[in-house]
Structure 1
């Protein structure tokens, strides 16, 4: 044989001709993907494109209706052979699998078999190994600490450390950065690059396209349950990537400068607010018609400050006033009565009741308004939910559909719908676009803008420039204090510098 080529590397994971249907819903149609040794391969697509279904097949949680899966050139293990699947693929799932009632160590080593089933557990050694695993990411945690007491970011690093410590040559990372700030993402990416040099391959799923370009070699796009394109990241520009995901040309509206608006009376006044360990002497105002961004890393105190405004924490000192009414701290019902609507940071742990329907989740804040004497009239709840579904463009079979069956973006829209259901004077939205696709992100941010334009006000907490670009002002916190403020027209580099504590100036518009 002449002109023989060098043998191609055997893929660490390969899927061909995958079909998967759930009732009348086609979740995957002739889908395929190939991941090579040591490769960082991105999988992107809108919510509902089939990404989560593919992950469930690649990790052995579900079996395909048709098609083949192979790891290292060998057919996938039999369905249900958990140990065999774990030896071939590890996964950081989009929905946290950290068990809140167990300790950090127990979560990290849950399901791991010891060398001898008769040997007693050596807790001191396991605690030491736990500290080492997390220390590799710069995370300093007491391994004996209960996981339910951790922050969202800390739980995510426990999840990541558990997956990456399995020794598998192929790791699926499903939205691993959704709960991480810029510093946490940098630590994770450094670790991933180190593991890649050792030959570990990753399937990286993210809605943050900048991360795809920062980390990955190739990208595969799914749309409407089908494979659209696979290409080297360097050959697929941002506009072309978005077009492949959506089927439409990328909109230029996101790059337009925000016009200055005339703000109305104060809706939120925070004066001298202090929560030990989170923030100190915080003062902030938000006026009617304004969307104000509150930016900061996980350690900045921005999330805890917003949660305090919404009644989740009781400050030690300071005052919160909403629409001229003093709000008692640590009292969520009082904050609701004052007119505060909350989109929490973690929709899975804080925002949704997964065993309930779309209607039940969307109307949780309206108990007492859906019928006489605190009763709930099903017809009234259904009519209200149908109106929310239209208003938020929620893709769901109907109000009675289980919320757990919705895609991540549509679940987030349900959380936002509930926050808006009371007609809040102040909408507090914490990382409102985490884990949603490009189109859903744009829609949610427009809906938040509309809430302010209709006479309310909004406080948006995020460290993502795209989340903050439409804000009238952005206030930056660092280590519990306000360090900078920006009016319309700020640049990404100056905002990021402030978030990282590299500036202390307050620009025009503060």
Structure 2
């Protein structure tokens, strides 16, 4: 019996799995997306699905949700064969997926999103009754959101909870969560996990997809690993060490995410390339001071309410502070102006690559070379050959897995899309680089590649500010600043322990 068959099998007399795939294969032309892969998700558990970008996770999810038909193999729910692909209502009653990229329509209200295409029977829609039904549905699952609010005004956390409530309202008891924590802070992640445990206790089954392996150990009971389109293993989480799990994902000993931690210290004589003084923005932060020297890597960590992301966005010109100054490479750009910040020598990697980092309809080359378009031709006309050559150098430098510079950036995996964003941020060899959650939603290999490129930039003299809640992002930093309730409360030198940093983030010992 093959490994995937073992994974897809179930014990005689045991309750039927909530979901299972047996011997599933899928090809796209010459590309093998799945090769006799299998997964079994026991009823009432939270089951992790992990693997590097391109391992086959997205293809398996599309088959488990009825969006694609496998070339071979079968899918079953609660022991019964999956519905036909044409019967969408039957699929919605069995499975739902909450994607990393929200499917909530921002211009509609929460109530309209919850009951889209099922607002009423015959006759006009009763809006008051619709909002009442939505309120009852949300209250039943403990989601504190105004049904009349525009969905576009919700936080990422609220959108995810609304999507989960919508899925459950169809009757589905098997929910797939695709990178649900990629854009959440530590507090929101804790609340999401608490809600998952409550729903799990009531009989809801989860398939949890994440690149943050510590979350797998925190919230999941079983883990399945895919690699190179094949099933590698399915084990109880408690039976696998982190090193064993990384080895299963990569086929080798996992790469170090702190390869730059042994970098030589930055001399105190190094010039300051990023200087923030007395920065204040009502409702976000107050009296923020920080400096980054040439070649220095400085971390900035804090809870979602700490104001850390707003500080980064202010430095980049996306927000205008009420008071204070930002100096980049000795110049003070116009407050609230992104072009001025970039012209002063800033490189910026935003928090949400989908909404802020990429132009999805453009190619890899067009996205990566946006900041240097003026250098690729005369009289404002970009020479295609020069743009292609520049993009090919970036693809090689940053190890971007793509069909070529012409490929639409929307076709890339999450990790490779993030590499394009980083390549663009570094295209002008910036004096200072500000990154927000740089490894969110990327696999362990891509994390190592991304962070390695950043430490290389620092070695060339770029000052780096890393804004992140992910401790692995901060291990190469010379020091880490901790924000709490809008203020920098600690400057932690290299050598910190996880417990020390987490305690500081949670405000332990603060008044």
Q: TM-score range by the shorter chain?
A: over 0.9
The alpha carbon displacement at 1:38 in A equals: 0.2
CA deviation map 1:140-177 (0-9, x unaligned) = 55444433344444444444443355431111011111
Aligned to 1:20: 26
Partner of 1:146: 150
Indicate yes or no: 2:207 matched with 1:203.
yes
8 A Cα contact 1:258 1:488, kept in partner? no
Are 1:134 and 1:158, in contact at CA under 8 Å, matched by a contact in 2?
A: no
Change (3 A) 1:76 1:348: same
Deviations 1:102-121 (A, max 9, x none): 2333333334x246343623
Cα offset for 1:64? 1.3
Q: Secondary structure at the match of 1:68?
A: strand
- Separation in 2, partners of 1:53, 1:95: 16
- Runs of 5+ unmatched residues, structure 1: 506-510
Q: Structure 1 pair 105/328, CA: closer, same or farther in 2 (3 Å)?
A: farther
C-alpha distance after superposition, 1:362-402 (max 9, x if no partner): 11222322211211110011000000000100000100011
Find 1:68's aligned residue among 61, 74, 88.
74
CA deviations on 1:222-266 (whole Å, 9 max, x unpaired) are 000100001111111111111000000234674995455124111
Candidates 290, 295, 301, aligned match of 2:301: 295
1:485 is aligned to: 491
2:198 maps to 1:228: no
The partner residue of 1:121 within 104, 123, 126 is 126
Moved more, 459-468 or 139-148: 139-148
CA contact (8 A) 1:156 1:179 kept: no
Task: Give the whole-Å Cα distance in 2 for the aligned partners of 1:452 and 1:221.
Answer: 34
Q: 1:173 to 1:488 in 2, by over 3 A?
A: same
User: CA 1:105/1:270 → structure 2, altered by over 3 Å: closer, same or farther?
Assistant: farther
Matched, 1:179 2:183: yes
SS at match of 1:368: helix
Residue 83 of structure 1 corresponds to which residue in structure 2? 89
CA separation of 1:161 and 1:418: change in aligned 2, threshold 3 A: farther
| CA–CA distance in structure 2, aligned partners of residues 342 and 334 of structure 1 | 13
Shift of 1:315: 1.1
Give the stretch that moved more between structures: 141-150 or 219-228. Answer: 141-150
Give the Cα–Cα distance (whole angstroms) in 2 for the partners of residues 171 and 434 of structure 1: 21
Q: What is the TM-score of this pair, normalised by structure 2?
A: 0.92
- Structure 1 window deviating more from structure 2 (97-106 vs 294-303): it is 97-106
1:396 paired with 2:396, answer no
Give the structure 1 partner of residue 192 of structure 2. Answer: 188
Contact 2:431 / 2:462 at 8 angstroms: preserved in 1?
A: yes
1:464 aligns with 2:462: no
Deviations 1:435-455 (A, max 9, x none): 000111111111111111101
1 CA distance for matches of 2:140 and 2:477? Answer: 36
* CA separation of 1:78 and 1:6: change in aligned 2, threshold 3 A: closer
Check 1:160–1:483 CA distance in 2 against 1; reply closer, same or farther (3 A cut). farther
* SS of residue paired to 1:88: coil
Q: Write out aligned runs for 1:347-426 (5 A).
A: 347-426=353-432
Q: How many residues matched? A: 499
The answer as to whether partners of 1:13 and 1:70 remain within 8 angstroms in 2 is yes
Task: Confirm or deny that 1:317 pairs with 2:323.
Answer: yes
Q: Please give the per-residue CA displacement for 1:413-444, whole angstroms capped at 9, x wherever unaligned.
A: 11111111111111111000000001111111
- 1:104–1:130 contact (8 Å) kept in structure 2: no
CA distance in 2, matches of 1:48, 1:275: 41
In 2: Cα distance, 1:172 partner to 1:243 partner: 25
Residue of structure 2 aligned with 1:54, choices 53, 60, 65? 60
Tell me how far apart the structure 1 counterparts of residues 29 and 503 of structure 2 sit (CA, whole Å): 49
Q: 2:220 aligns with which of 192, 216, 222?
A: 216
Aligned to 1:247: 251
User: Could you tell me whether the CA contact under 8 Å between 2:138 and 2:145 is conserved in 1?
Assistant: no
- How far residue 275 of structure 1 moved from its aligned partner, in angstroms, is 1.5
Note if 1:266 corresponds to 2:277: no
Tell me the SS of whatever aligns to 2:483: strand
**Runs of 5+ unmatched residues, structure 2:** 1-10
**How big is each residue's C-alpha offset from its partner over 1:281-323, in whole Å with a ceiling of 9 and x where there is no partner?**
2111111111111101221111111011011111111111001
Q: Could you tell me how far apart the structure 1 residues matched to 2:373 and 2:122 are?
A: 51
RMSD: 2.2
When residues 42 and 276 of structure 1 are mapped into structure 2, their CA distance, relative to the original with a 3 A threshold, is: same
Q: Is the 8 A contact 1:294 1:460 kept in 2?
A: yes
Q: Which moved more, 1:162-171 or 1:318-327?
A: 162-171
TM-aligned CA deviation for residue 197 of structure 1? 1.2
Displacement after TM superposition at 1:403 (Å)? 1.1
User: How many angstroms apart in 2 are the aligned matches of 1:233 and 1:117?
Assistant: 50
Question: Residue 508 of structure 1 aligns with which residue?
Answer: none
